[in-house]
C-alpha cells in the first residue's frame, strides 16, 4: 500500500497522518512493542516531523501508542489480562448496542447495513482482508448509530480503538473468518426482524469467538518469543 499523503492544508495534515499510522498499527505493519521510528515514518509518509509528532500524540491519547521518556513512542502491546478485561467491556457495549439497534433501526439504516454487508461479502470472496476489515468496521459503526445513543457510541469508539489490531488479525484464521461472516449474516437477519433478543445473542457469540481467537494468537506469539527470551537470559542480557 502506498503511504504517501496527498497535499492538504496543514490544519488537517496531522489527522491524515494519524489515520495512516492507525492503519499501519491495525494491520501489523508496526507491530506491538515496536518503536515508531520518526525518520523512517517521515520518509514513508512524505511528511515533516511536526505533523508526524502531532499524529503520534493523537494516537497516544487513543491508547494506541505509549510515549516513554528517553525512548520515544512505542506501539502499545496488550497482555492477556488487558485483552480479557477489554473484551468484557466490549461485549457489554456491543450487545447493548445491537439490542437497541434492533428496536430503533430505520428502513434507510437497514438498507445501508445490507449494502455494506454485500460489499463485505465480496471482499471476503476475494480474500481482501483490508477492504473486508474496513467494511466490517463500517457495519459495526452503522449498528451503533442505529442504536441512537450517543453516549454508548462515544464509549464504544474509545474502547474499540484498543482492539482494532487484534480484531484485524483474528480474521487471518480461515475458519474463524468464515464464522465471523456467518455472524454478520445473522446480525442483518436479526435487525431486519427487529428482534432485540436475537441481536443480543449474535453479538455476544461474535465477541466470544473473537476473544477466543485473539487469546490463541497471543499464546502463539508468547510461545514464539520464548526461545528468544531464553537465549537472552542464557547470555545474561
Q: How far apart are CA 210 and CA 180, in angstroms?
A: 8
- pLDDT for position 231: 54
The CATH number fitting domain 80-223, selected from 3.40.50.620, 1.20.120.530, 3.90.340.10, 3.30.70.3170 = 1.20.120.530
**Is there a contact between 146 and 188 (Cβ–Cβ < 8 Å)?**
no
Q: Does the 10-75 domain belong in CATH 1.10.10.10? A: yes
Mean pLDDT of 39-50: 93
Q: How far apart are CA 78 and CA 149, in angstroms?
A: 29
Residue 2 DSSP class: -
Residue 167: count of CB within 10 angstroms of its CB:
21
| Banded model confidence at residue 140, pLDDT cuts 50, 70, 90 | very high
Distances (CA, A) of 180 to 177, 200, 206: 5, 15, 7
Mean pLDDT of 157-170: 81
Which residue ranges make up each domain of the chain? 10-75, 80-223
**Is there a contact between 87 and 211 (Cβ–Cβ < 8 Å)?**
yes
Q: How far apart are CA 97 and CA 190, in angstroms?
A: 13
- pLDDT for position 5: 40
- Evaluate if residue 227 carries a pLDDT over 80: no
DSSP string of 110-153? HHHHHHHHHHHHHHHHHT-HHHHHHHHHHHHHHHHHHHT-HHHH
What dihedral do alpha carbons 127, 129, 133, 134 form, nearest 10°? -100
Amino acid at each position: 500500500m502506498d503511504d504517501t499523503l496527498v497535499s492538504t492544508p496543514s490544519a488537517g495534515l496531522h489527522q491524515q497522518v494519524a489515520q495512516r499510522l492507525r492503519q499501519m498499527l491495525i494491520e501489523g505493519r508496526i507491530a506491538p512493542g515496536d518503536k515508531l521510528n520518526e525518520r523512517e515514518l517521515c520518509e514513508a509518509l512524505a511528511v515533516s516531523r511536526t505533523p508526524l509528532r502531532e499524529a503520534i500524540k493523537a494516537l497516544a491519547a487513543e491508547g494506541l501508542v505509549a510515549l516513554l521518556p528517553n525512548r520515544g513512542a512505542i506501539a502499545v502491546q496488550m497482555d492477556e489480562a488487558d485483552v480479557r478485561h477489554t473484551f468484557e467491556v466490549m461485549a457489554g457495549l456491543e450487545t447493548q448496542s445491537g439490542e437497541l439497534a434492533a428496536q430503533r433501526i430505520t428502513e434507510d439504516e437497514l438498507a445501508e447495513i445490507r449494502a455494506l454487508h454485500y460489499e463485505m461479502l465480496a471482499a471476503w470472496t476475494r480474500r481482501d482482508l483490508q477492504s473486508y476489515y474496513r467494511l466490517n468496521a463500517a457495519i459495526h459503526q452503522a449498528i451503533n448509530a442505529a442504536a441512537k445513543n450517543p453516549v454508548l457510541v462515544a464509549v464504544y469508539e474509545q474502547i474499540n480503538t484498543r482492539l482494532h489490531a487484534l480484531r484485524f488479525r483474528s480474521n487471518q484464521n480461515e475458519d474463524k473468518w468464515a464464522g465471523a461472516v456467518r455472524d454478520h449474516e445473522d446480525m442483518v437477519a436479526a435487525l431486519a426482524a427487529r428482534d432485540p433478543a436475537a441481536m443480543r445473542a449474535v453479538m455476544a457469540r461474535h465477541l466470544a469467538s473473537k476473544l477466543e481467537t485473539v487469546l490463541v494468537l497471543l499464546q502463539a506469539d508468547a510461545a514464539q518469543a520464548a526461545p528468544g527470551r531464553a537465549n537472552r537470559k542464557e547470555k545474561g542480557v
